[in-house]
Amino acid sequence: LHKFKTSGATADQNLLSPEAKQLYRQLLSGSDTAPQPGNPLDELLGLRLAAPDAARPGHYTALNASAAALHWQSHLQNLGSRYLSQAASVASEMNDLIGAYQMAQPSTGGAIEYLAGLDVIQDRLTPLLAACESELFTAQPNGPRPAAQLALSYQRDIAVLQRGVKMHTINHYTARRDEPTARWAATVTVHGAKVRTVAQRFPRTVIIDRKTAVTAVLTPWEGQGAPPDERALIIHDEAVVRCLATMMDLLWGSAMPWTGGTFVEVTPMQKTILEGLVRGDGLEVIGRTLGVTPRTVSTHLAPLREAVGVESLPQLTYWYGRHEAHYQDVSPLVG
């Protein structure tokens, strides 16, 4: 064992030298010859395979090899477990430093990096998220999220929130139908995140401190072979990132808050439209008041119809009339 500790021996090297094994057998035979100090005697003493013979000064006796083997096997296994545990924590402990280094040197990949493959994207995204200092904006466009993605999100998102980072997440409104995604929304909300849903389609996007953005590639695949499962752009150009952030801010403003619960929440825009419907105004009149098309007015109500479980505007108007008192604290966009 001393050899392993001090000489940098590798795992394929023997714990005992042939000379030490030969000396052990001599001790077992009761040889009258006293062994010379130093190796291989030191190996046997260090591994508890030999001990001084109290009756014969300068001589040694062999000890139980089975007991010694069990002792050192257990010791090395415990030692290995500690090293494995330390090895597993190295990456997580240095993630923030790795991300900070990568964000500070965008020139290594240019203003825009192109990544293909989900594993490649996740490996690149992990240190970037670990380096997030103040604000994280994420947009998840595909409604319910796979279990593997949710498990990774729990780990990443809660770690970010525990550092005091402000987190805003937009999901497509169909995520409200998925119980695991709803539990995720409820969990991160408890930890301080703000989650909303919208009916519009949007690209998957992550914006970190408004300095770095990761967004899905929307152009068709033109490479050879089957297209990768995911493709992404990592954008370091601050002007482009701020432009994306502004677009996400607009999307956030039209989104409906969601805490993962069953209570149906109404945005100021939706309340304005619903109050117009209750007054008897049509979509065209409401649209002119808001400066949008009747189709846009209807689009704003689509996630609310989904959440309430109705199909038509008259049904939604009736529902709102019965529950209007629950939304007194929501300020409409127009008086």
CB burial string 157-187: b at 16+ within 10 A, e below = bbbbbeeebebbbbbbbbbbebeebbebbeb
Q: Are 234 and 207 in contact (CB under 8 A)?
A: no
Q: d(Cα 71, Cα 69) in Å, to the nearest integer?
A: 5
Identify the CATH assignment for 108-257 out of 1.20.1090.10, 3.30.870.10, 3.40.50.720, 3.40.309.10: 3.30.870.10
Query: Prior bond to 141 cis, omega within 30?
Result: no
Beta-carbon count within 10 A of 43 CB: 22
In whole angstroms, give the CA distance from residue 146 to residue 40.
60
The domain spans of the chain are 2-63, 108-257, 268-327
DSSP string, 250-310: HHHHTSEE--SSSSPP--HHHHHHHHHHHHT--HHHHHHHHTS-HHHHHHHHHHHHHHHT-
Report helix angle 294-308 to 283-290, nearest 10. Answer: 110
Cα first-last separation, the chain: 81
CATH architecture of the domain with residue range 268-327: Orthogonal Bundle (1.10)
Query: Could you read off the pLDDT tens digit of each residue along the chain, which spans 335 residues?
Result: 444 443 334 444 577 888 888 888 888 887 777 777 777 888 888 888 888 888 888 888 888 888 888 888 888 888 877 777 776 666 666 766 766 666 665 444 468 888 888 888 888 888 888 889 999 999 998 888 888 888 888 888 998 999 999 999 999 888 877 889 999 999 999 999 999 988 788 889 999 999 999 999 988 888 788 888 889 999 998 899 999 999 999 999 888 888 886 567 788 999 999 999 999 999 999 999 999 999 999 999 998 998 888 889 999 999 888 778 667 767 887 75
Q: Please give the Cα distance from 112 to 214 (Å, whole number).
A: 10
